[in-house]
Structure 1
Amino acid sequence: MGMPRLDDPDLPLADIMSYWPETIPVFLRHKMLCVGCLVGPFHTIVDACAEYHLDQERFMGELISAVAGRS
């Protein structure tokens, strides 16, 4: 199966934080309660951005930068 892709719109938040723990500070910086949330295995970035009224492209850019070590 291989490594998941960070830009996969169906990837659950829990998987993102598990595969790329360097993304956790991005969630915390936005005061998102996604870290450790029981809904994390079911919610995606699309869901979280809608819930927290965040621009999805900008947020995804922050996650990608964190993974690349540029945050």
Structure 2
Amino acid sequence: MARLRLDDPDLPLADLMTAWPRTIPVFVRHKMLCVGCLVSPFHTVTDACAEYDLNEETFLAELRQAADQG
């Protein structure tokens, strides 16, 4: 089984939040409805950033920082 990578462009948001639950507050802080969304098993960070008009590089940096805490 392949190891999950936070920066994998094909990683679904549901898998990302399951593997790195410390990233959930990042989504909430940006007022994103991704947490618990029925589309999260299919959407990626790229999709979410496009939907919420966020800079993907900056958002990924925030996710990495949150995932690395603890």
TM (normalized to structure 1)?
0.95
Alignment match, 2:40 = 40
Alignment match, 2:50 = 50
Count of aligned positions: 70
Alignment match, 2:66 = 66
- 1:69 positional shift: 1.0
User: What is the aligned-residue RMSD (CA, Å)?
Assistant: 1.1
- Segments of structure 1 that go 5 or more residues without pairing to the other structure are none
> C-alpha distance in 2, partners of 1:57/1:27?
14
TM (normalized to structure 2)?
0.96
Amino acid at match of 2:40: G
Query: Percent identical across equivalent pairs?
Result: 67
Residue 23 of structure 2 corresponds to residue 20 of structure 1:
no
- 1:63 positional shift: 0.2
Report Cα offsets for 1:1-28 as digits up to 9, x if no partner. Answer: 1420000000000000000000000000
Amino acid at match of 2:39: V
